[in-house]
Amino acid sequence: MKFKDFVYQRPEMEEFTARFNDLLTKFEESDSFVAQDEALKDINTIREEFISMNNICQIRHTVDTKDAFYGAENEFFDANGPKYQALGNRFYTALTASKFRTELEAKHGKQLFVIAELSKTTFEPIILSDLQEENKLVSEYVKIKAGATITFRDKEYNLSALVPLETSQDRTTRKEASEAKWAFFEKHKLDFDRIYDEQVNLRHGMAEKLGYKNYIELGYARMLRSDYDAEMVAGFRQQILDYVVPLVSDLFERQRKRLSLDTLHHYDESFRFDSGNPKPKGNPDWIIKNAQKMYSELSPETNDFFNYMIEKDLMDLVNREGKATGGYCTFINKYEAPYIFSNFNGTSGDIDVLTHEAGHAFQVYSSKDIGLKEYNWPTYEACEIHSMSMEFFTWPWMNLFFEEDTEKYMFAHLAGALKFLPYGVAVDEFQHYVYENVDATPTERNDAWRAIEKKYMPHRNYGGHPLLEEGRFWQRQNHIFSMPFYYIDYTLAQICAFQFWKRDRENHEKAWGQYLTLCKAGGSLPFLELVKLAGLQSPFEKGCIESVIGEVRAWLDSVDDTVF
């Protein structure tokens, strides 16, 4: 079956709830471990059915947000997802109270019960309507951005289509394209203020109802973080400030000189070389053909995986009108099918997003037979190791896409990964500020962002741009609205991915073997145990960041970027 043939049927909530409760009763009343384990398997199957319909709906809605049918179905899941969560909470309560818990742990591992214990603390029926409202607000934000129509030089663009113009060799073009984009955000800034203000108050209220001090504690529990806390994250951010921010400032100064500019403005940051940024040398079909060659040569496992993705049409990669922004990978349990969504726009980002999301898809493809929904994916920071490391494991094949610009691409890619780290921790610190200061006004939040931005990105120059000077750059970041506290994950994973980058250059077979072990483990272990399983050093460990960054800096310093 190809993706277009995957059957979508809206779950009948009354019928689904009755079936779920029957299976839960069977689980609770089982008089042997074998019987209870069989009931667990049945519960897992029915949960996968619901999630599969949800994910098929999500894909078909985001590939065309103007589709009325899937728009309505998306609203159904906004309203009924929390009801499904309520059933899951009942299951987790029964699971953790099981009289056969020892046997279940021995078979399925302790992580299932760690997930259950944390999940139990994130839901009570009293917050069901709050969760429904939270979903509606996220969908509103996504729809506003997906519906962006930006007029630039008598042509209309959406946000994704405008990106190539923002990296034009002509400085006037990229400045005006940037201004056109931010004019869209100016138009909707009060909408974004309102949506986020409602979200913050809603989330804080849910935290209080559940007995938490604030949403930070609830947010960490919702992210299933069991082996590190906010204090450790704060220490990690400090290491980025100490060891990475100065290096990134040097890289931007190196870029300014390379571009022969008196001042590097915000609209210059993504333009890396006077000769133009590296771009794929062919169209999307050509990219996929070369990606197929790349993955056939990388390993037998990636060959099987990528052929599967192509044969079943499990990728929607090209930007279109009405398509949601960004990129993601999801998994349709019922069909054992990963799915990759992106917005190709003719930039090097097309290759980045393809290899990144393929890393996610390869992991879930590799661990899909573990047998528990909870283990399809690990927690998000571990997920991002798979994706960011895949970007580096595919380096030896970048000549297929960039030809004579391959070294230029590698320099830009590695430097870009390093430049991301200060921004990534800035987003995280901003969210901690927001949920520690729930009574802050929108203006105070914007002021906080601007102060945090100056701390971690001292090089950034907005040149007096009103919207950005008042601290609204953060409003472009989907994660802040849709998945609070999902951003430090990228930075933690990047430090791990840099380690794989180094090891792959030293011993490919060994590095790939460790990566494959990590992928196959899925979500069966918490983050730090997965890091250990892969033979990596914890990003929280003292000296880790300094050591890893030193290797990256040495490589960047070895390249004469003035010739590009």
Express each pLDDT in 187-233 by its tens digit: 999 999 999 999 999 999 999 999 999 999 999 999 999 999 999 99
Percent of the chain clearing pLDDT 70 (strictly above): 100
Domain ranges of the chain: 3-123
Q: What is the pLDDT of residue 448?
A: 98
Q: Which two tokens stand for residue 495?
A: 């430090």
Is the pLDDT score of 113 beyond 90? Answer: yes
**CB under 8 Å to 494, separation ≥6 — which residues?**
384, 388, 417, 420, 421, 424
Express each pLDDT in 278-328 by its tens digit: 999 999 999 999 999 999 999 999 999 999 999 999 999 999 999 999 999
- Indicate the SS3 state at residue 93: helix
328: phi then psi, degrees, rounded to nearest 5: -160, 165
Spell out the long-range contacts of 368-372 with Cβ–Cβ below 8 A and sequence spacing 24 or more: 368/331, 368/336, 370/522, 370/524, 371/41, 371/44, 372/44, 372/108, 372/112
Q: What is the pLDDT of residue 371?
A: 83
Q: Are 329 and 337 in contact (CB under 8 A)?
A: no
* Gap between the Cα atoms of 102 and 105, Å rounded: 5
Number of residues assigned to the chain: 564
* Amino acid at position 350, single letter: D
Segment 446-469 mean pLDDT: 98
Q: Are 150 and 157 in contact (CB under 8 A)?
A: yes
Segment 388-395 mean pLDDT: 98
Q: What is the pLDDT of residue 312?
A: 98
* Gap between the Cα atoms of 219 and 488, Å rounded: 13
Quick one: pLDDT band at residue 398, thresholds 50, 70, 90?
A: very high
Name the nearest CA neighbour of 428 among 184, 211, 239. Answer: 239
Is the pLDDT score of 553 beyond 90? Answer: yes
Q: What is the pLDDT of residue 364?
A: 98
Q: Are 335 and 348 in contact (CB under 8 A)?
A: no
For the beta carbon of residue 45, count every other beta carbon within 10 angstroms: 13
Q: What is the mean pLDDT of the chain?
A: 97
Q: What is the pLDDT of residue 130?
A: 97
Helix H or strand E segment including 331: strand 328-332
Q: What is the pLDDT of residue 413?
A: 98
Spell out the long-range contacts of 63-67 with Cβ–Cβ below 8 A and sequence spacing 24 or more: 63/316, 63/320, 63/323, 63/324, 63/341, 64/320, 64/322, 64/323, 65/142, 65/143, 65/146, 65/147, 65/322, 65/323, 65/324, 66/322
Express each pLDDT in 333-353 by its tens digit: 999 999 999 999 999 999 999
Q: What is the pLDDT of residue 308?
A: 98
Express each pLDDT in 409-424 by its tens digit: 999 999 999 999 999 9
Segment 546-561 mean pLDDT: 95
